[in-house]
Structure 1
Amino acid sequence: MRKLIMWNVVTLDGYFEGEKNWDLSFHGLVWGKELEELSLTQLKSADMLVFGATTYKGMADYWTNGEEGDEGEVAKFMNGIQKIACSSTLKTANWNNTILVKDAVAEIPKLKQQGNGDMFVFGSGNLSESLLKAGLFDEIRLCIAPVFLGNGRLLFHQGIPHQKLKLLEARSLSTGGTLLRYAPD
């Protein structure tokens, strides 16, 4: 059975994105060799990536049109892996190996039963909130960037049900960031 894992970089004050879509400038504060290695490790453990509509469109554009350069190995994984685009509004999903899912809360539990690798949700704030409310995440992985952004899009909103979590790992990065891994208790 697959594990559903959330992966996000957030600021110390809880923002995963600035005021505009794809305002991720704070990611540069924590990016380095350690996060690059973690990214590859996570992708190698995965057999499926799950995105909301906005993140799907942005990631598809970045990974299919971007320059591979230093990201060559990551780009190969991103373009080759099975992807799920969760959206009630998208009509098509043309990035390699993508399936379009209209109701993520209904479909994700079925998809978790169909494989053995990990399923990662990257970004996708609205989708992550829906999956959290439905209790579908097996693990939450966060990298805390050492900055107060002050405004933008919060990852966790009011309305997330009370849930006790168990710390699986806490690790400091040489960039000043902190990696945290939690599982439902």
Structure 2
Amino acid sequence: MRKLVVWNLMTLDGSFEGAEKWDLAFHDTAWGDELSAFSQAQAEEVGALLFGRVTYEGMAAYWSKETGPIADFMNGVEKVVVSKTLDKADWNNSRRLEGELPGAVAELKRRPGKDIYVFGSAELVAALLRHELVDEYRICIAPVVLGGGTPMFKPFDGALGMKLTKTTPLKTGAVILYYEPQYRA
């Protein structure tokens, strides 16, 4: 069975974007040769990207105009969009997720192939968390405090423990943390 991995950059104070939508300037505090190499190596593990509508539209607008190895990956990999309002998914190799989220994502995980990754998509990640569908979180903590922005984790009932499985410090001062969610049995 394929794993569902959530990958995001986050500030020390928990934001995955600044005060304005798509304000990702803080990524520059973490970016460098090591994170670039990590991103390219991680791409080898990805069989599909799962996006919420907002992230899908932003990624499509940006990556469809870019070139280079990461753009080639983003434009070529299978992309699945979770949305009840999107009419069509017309970015290369994209489709809408059919059916209700828990069952449709569970079915996607059962299909053969490389792992499924979620980039951004905070609302989608919150829903996946509620349904215990995330197998691993990979979070790059950027060495910056914004003092405001969009939090990566949305409020929910209860608590979710995380088991730290690996850390990778970067020369920029950022740290990549690997966590396995500890869902209640």
- TM-score by structure 1 length? 0.94
User: Which structure: greater helix fraction?
Assistant: 1
User: Would you identify which runs of 4 or more consecutive aligned residues in structure 1 move more than 3 Å?
Assistant: none
Task: Quote the Cα distance in structure 2 between the aligned partners of 1:76 and 1:124.
Answer: 21
Q: What residue is the counterpart of 2:10 in the other structure?
A: 10
Q: Does the 8 Å CA contact 2:122/2:154 hold for their aligned counterparts?
A: no
- Deviation digits for residues 44-79 of structure 1 (CA, Å, limit 9, x no counterpart): 11110011101100111111113x2xxx11111111
**5+ unaligned residues in a row in structure 1: which ranges?**
none
Q: What residue is the counterpart of 1:91 in the other structure?
A: 87
- Local SS of the residue matching 2:145: coil
Task: Quote the Cα distance in structure 1 between the aligned partners of 2:65 and 2:103.
Answer: 32
Residue 106 of structure 1 and its aligned partner are, at CA, apart by 2.9
The one-letter code of the counterpart of 1:109 is A
Residue 160 of structure 1 and its aligned partner are, at CA, apart by 5.4
The answer to whether 1:78 aligns with 2:85 is: no
Q: What residue is the counterpart of 1:125 in the other structure?
A: 122
Q: Does the 8 Å CA contact 1:133/1:161 hold for their aligned counterparts?
A: no
Across the aligned residues of Structure 1 and Structure 2, the Cα RMSD in angstroms comes to 1.2
- What is the aligned length? 181
Residue 159 of structure 1 and its aligned partner are, at CA, apart by 0.8
Task: Quote the Cα distance in structure 1 between the aligned partners of 2:119 and 2:38.
Answer: 14
Q: What residue is the counterpart of 1:157 in the other structure?
A: 154
Q: 1:167 aligns with which of 157, 164, 177?
A: 164
**5+ unaligned residues in a row in structure 2: which ranges?**
none
Task: Quote the Cα distance in structure 1 between the aligned partners of 2:122 and 2:159.
Answer: 18
Residue 42 of structure 1 and its aligned partner are, at CA, apart by 1.4
Task: Quote the Cα distance in structure 1 between the aligned partners of 2:79 and 2:40.
Answer: 16
Task: Quote the Cα distance in structure 2 between the aligned partners of 1:99 and 1:160.
Answer: 31
Q: Give percent identity, aligned residues only.
A: 44
- TM-score by structure 2 length? 0.94
1:1-185 matched pairs, under 5 angstroms? 1-66=1-66, 68=67, 72-101=68-97, 103-159=100-156, 161-185=158-182
Residue 164 of structure 1 and its aligned partner are, at CA, apart by 1.9
The one-letter code of the counterpart of 1:125 is A
Q: Does the 8 Å CA contact 1:165/1:183 hold for their aligned counterparts?
A: yes
